Homo-oligomer: A and B are copies of this chain.
Amino acid sequence: MSTTHVTTRIATLVKNMEEHGFAGMAVNAGPSLTYLTGLHFHLMERPVVFVFTPASPVTIILPELERAKLTGLPFPASVYPYGEDPGGWENIFKEALEAIGLSGAKIGVEPRQLRLLEYKLLRGACQDVQFTDGSSLVAGPRSIKDDDELLLMRQAVMIAEDALEETLLKVKIGVSEKEIASELFLQLIGHGSETSLPFSPIVAAGPNGANPHAKPSGRKLQEGDLLVIDWGASFGGYASDLTRTFGVGKLDAESEKIHHLVQRANEAGRLAGKPGVTCDFVDSTTRNVIEQGGYGQHFTHRTGHGIGMECHEEPYIRNENNQQLQAGMTYTIEPGIYLPGKNGVRIEDDVVVTLTGAESLSTMSRKIRYVGA
């Protein structure tokens, strides 16, 4: 990440804080901290907290051992390192936060990322501060991807598609879900994915495909199975998340029918996005295709989720979410039909909102493809 990115992102955060009446934003180890600073910290037993304010340098509380990561920071900072004894945490948080002087102010935090561990330390250090959900101050800007970010996401998609093509060469009747998942994993790494995948691939055939969150099992592919593969790659800190459903040998008529229905729903969903339309609209446009096909009660989840540094982030493509899409937002379109005890279909793409519509970052064919003997 360039120095320009970091300084622009912090400036945007400060502008958002001022517009919404926040005197500061406390961010702990996680994707938002990486987004804002370019630094990587694991969420570990030791707290790492950065406090951003309009006036002061960035206040950084971290283990002494991690201090080397701050070399050459592109923004002014006041650093409060601490040693091995957790008994010292309370005092260092007090010292750091008293130096900023936030008495009576409203400070933003991310409830999905901040643990009680850090919250109690912050709360103990400034008892008259009002800690408030400030997620949107960072999630808003994070949801709009710039060209550099889109390049990384396109690469994460390409790695995933190439890895699956290579894996499919070994997919046939008699091979187990677990064997396919292992091969896919190695192909993802071999094609350049970071080793920490956004999620463990789902490979689920026949009745296992009826569980949207199935884990690969020892079950072997059988003639007539629908085979769901849900997989993704990580590249440059960004995720891809795709699903394709294959036919094993000859399918019965209903399996072909539901695959075709989901394919049409996926297409409708991919085309529905543009600046100004709501997430609810994209969800209902996708869902309507399946409802009109008579399988509405078997599409049991939301249509999609935002994707970027996290595999699940804003915007969530679901019923009743009136958030409006903006150019640069990226999200999945992943309709499915699940017939318990029988089979399942899901077809998932990653799309980006353009100035006039939406473009799919993934291009692998969604038509039914057959694998066999």
Q: Is A150 an interface residue (CB 8 A)?
A: no
Tell me, rounded to whole Å, the shortest Cβ–Cβ distance linking A357 to chain B. Answer: 25
Check A116–B114 contact: CB distance below 8 A. Answer: yes
- Chief secondary structure at chain A's binding surface: loop
A213 — which chain B residues lie within 8 A by C-beta? 65-66, 68-69
Check A112–B195 contact: CB distance below 8 A. Answer: no
Check B85–A320 contact: CB distance below 8 A. Answer: yes
Bound state CA distance, A185 and B194, in angstroms?
11
Check A84–B44 contact: CB distance below 8 A. Answer: no
Nearest residue in B to A46 (C-beta to C-beta)?
A: B312
Q: Which of A68-112 contact B (CB under 8 A)?
A: 68-69, 84-85, 87, 109-112
- The number of chain A residues touching the other chain, given as a range, is 35 or more
Check B120–A116 contact: CB distance below 8 A. Answer: no
Q: Is A117 an interface residue (CB 8 A)?
A: yes
A68 — which chain B residues lie within 8 A by C-beta? 211, 213
A115 — which chain B residues lie within 8 A by C-beta? 111-116
Check A301–B189 contact: CB distance below 8 A. Answer: no
Check B318–A85 contact: CB distance below 8 A. Answer: yes
Q: Which of A112-162 contact B (CB under 8 A)?
A: 112-117, 119-120
Residues of A that sit less than 8 Å from B by CB: 42, 44-45, 64-66, 68-69, 84-85, 87, 109-117, 119-120, 185-186, 189, 195-197, 199-200, 211-213, 300-302, 305, 312-313, 316, 318-320
